[in-house]
Amino acid sequence: MFIDRLRDEVIFKIVYFGPGLGGKTTNLEYIYSHIDPRLRGNLISLKTKEDRTLYFDFLQVELGRIKGKKPRFHLYTIPGQAYYNFSRKIVLKGADAVVFVADSQKERVEDNLYALEDLEKKLIRQNSSLAAFPWIIQYNKRDLPNIEKVKNLQVQLNFLNVPSFEAIAIYGTGVFETLRGAIRMVISKLS
């Protein structure tokens, strides 16, 4: 959380983390395209060779004031591929919450586990851990034919019993529910 006294805003950073091609970018693109343009900033894509991190911010007027300030949320995706380890570490720094976007396909279970382990390692380097950090899980791609049952994904990935949501990000199913869950989580930290 950061307080911008000049704009009279309290700013929260939410990072979408997970395996490559799991739907992180699709989530952000859907959110961006469905938020009132008057309340959001530009969608920025930070690119290096084959690497892409998306970022945009939006002002949440429905929440009212928090600590006397307007809430603004900065949403980021991280590159999912393992060889962008440094980029993921930088983007995660200063996050108030993480949305872990898991790919529901059976053949991606190992990729999900690897990404979750990587998230834990990065949090430990920032003097935190999954047990102490606010995060939620989104089980994405629920429309595909070869998907793992949610109860199995819960056992494999949600060992800390954090809030979880089912989604089909390309259609927007569960996208805003997931975002609202993350927003509730960061706001509750202030209580």
All structural domains of the chain = 2-188 (3.40.50.300)
Residues 118-121: contacts with CB under 8 Å, at least 24 apart:
118/82, 118/85, 118/88, 119/17, 119/92
pLDDT band at 3 (very low <50, low <70, confident <90, very high): confident
What pLDDT, in 10s, does the model give residues 66-120?
A: 878 889 999 998 875 555 566 667 889 999 999 999 999 999 999 999 999 999 9
| Residue-level pLDDT at 73 | 92
Highest-scoring range by mean pLDDT, 9-18, 31-40, 53-62, 95-104: 95-104
- Higher pLDDT among residues 38 and 132, named by residue: 132
Percent of the chain with pLDDT over 70: 88
